[in-house]
């Protein structure tokens, strides 16, 4: 995902999308693939061309999701931000609106250690960045947040991006319960999720098969999809935990509001959605 944002930065949806942190967070080999994908001239050779195409689609997919999440964060409470599955998220450095805000990054301890090394290139973040190491499948999320200093009595904006699809329904329910338990009135949760889609499933299988044939590394090999949600089932989940949906859009519809050449974007964007829910 970080590579996708780096591919898109300065190229796609100018004036609406930017992520100057993405390229700096990549290793040399990762950055080389990005630089190639930023060229509009396709490389020669089937393997190189396939990697180029995958990276460019990755960039396109990242833009509407990132823009919509950023807009929802700006419009929500900003005393505390929690990013669940933070990965190589650069918001603590790139969003001026978060200067001085308590910004909790929740992720696997190994992922956080890797990011700490990479993030040295970015210097000091604008936000007050705090780490909560968690393996979502086995660790106590609420305890980890409390230890990190999260205040359950203060309204929080939760960014739940790129995580839900890789958890079982039971694990999603458990995480939602913790979010609710630590959300004061006025809190907001922003959820990126995947809807059931045979076409999307077949497309992912084909893409992975092509990567194997080309001898390319499959970045999602260790992260199988474990759950998908309809808008109705996600709304019911959040409602059970005291949140009311205020917006829920598929990524393709969000992309159409941006200055983007979507091309084959419907296939890549159509099964992804972004919901915003508030607690009153």
Q: Which CATH superfamily is domain 2-278 in?
A: Vaccinia Virus protein VP39 (3.40.50.150)
- C-alpha span between 147 and 145 (Å, rounded): 5
- C-alpha span between 144 and 132 (Å, rounded): 6
For residue 211, give both structure tokens. 């990567």
Q: What is the pLDDT of residues 51-61, one digit of tens each?
A: 898 899 999 99
- Rg (C-alpha) for the chain, rounded Å, is 18
Q: Which helix (H) or strand (E) holds 191?
A: strand 188-194
- C-alpha span between 82 and 202 (Å, rounded): 33
Output the pTM of the full model.
Answer: 0.91
Q: What is the pLDDT of residues 232-250, one digit of tens each?
A: 999 999 999 999 999 999 9
Residue appearing with tokens 């458990």: 174
Q: What is the pLDDT of residues 12-48, one digit of tens each?
A: 999 999 999 999 999 999 999 999 999 999 999 888 8
Give the start-to-end residue ranges of the domains of the chain.
2-278
Q: What is the pLDDT of residues 132-143, one digit of tens each?
A: 999 988 999 999
Q: Which helix (H) or strand (E) holds 274?
A: strand 272-278
Listed residue (183, 178, 188, 231) closest to 69, CA to CA:
188
């Amino acid at each position: 995902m970080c590579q996708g944002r780096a591919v898109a930065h300065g190229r796609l949806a100018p004036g609406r999308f930017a992520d100057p942190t993405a390229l700096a967070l990549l290793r040399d080999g990762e950055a080389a693939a990005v630089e190639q994908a930023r060229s509009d001239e396709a490389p020669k050779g089937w393997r190189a061309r396939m990697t180029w195409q995958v990276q460019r689609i990755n960039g396109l997919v990242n833009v509407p999701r990132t823009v919509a999440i950023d807009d929802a964060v700006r419009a929500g409470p900003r005393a505390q931000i929690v990013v669940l599955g933070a990965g190589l998220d650069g918001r603590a450095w790139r969003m001026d609106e978060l200067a001085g805000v308590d910004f909790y990054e929740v992720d696997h301890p190994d992922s956080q250690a890797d990011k700490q090394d990479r993030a040295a290139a970015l210097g000091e973040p604008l936000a007050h960045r705090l780490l909560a190491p968690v393996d979502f499948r086995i660790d106590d999320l609420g305890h980890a947040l409390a230890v990190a200093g999260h205040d359950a009595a203060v309204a929080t904006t939760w960014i739940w991006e790129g995580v839900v699809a890789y958890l079982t329904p039971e694990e999603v329910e458990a995480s939602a319960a913790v979010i609710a338990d630590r959300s004061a009135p006025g809190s907001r949760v922003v959820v990126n999720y995947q809807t059931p889609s045979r076409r999307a499933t077949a497309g992912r299988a084909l893409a992975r098969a092509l990567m194997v044939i080309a001898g390319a590394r499959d970045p999602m090999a260790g992260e199988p999809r474990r759950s998908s949600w309809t808008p109705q089932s996600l709304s019911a989940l959040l409602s059970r935990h005291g949140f009311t949906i205020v917006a829920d859009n598929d990524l393709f519809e969000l992309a159409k509001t941006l200055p983007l050449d979507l091309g084959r974007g419907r296939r890549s964007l159509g099964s992804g959605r972004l919901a915003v829910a508030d607690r009153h």
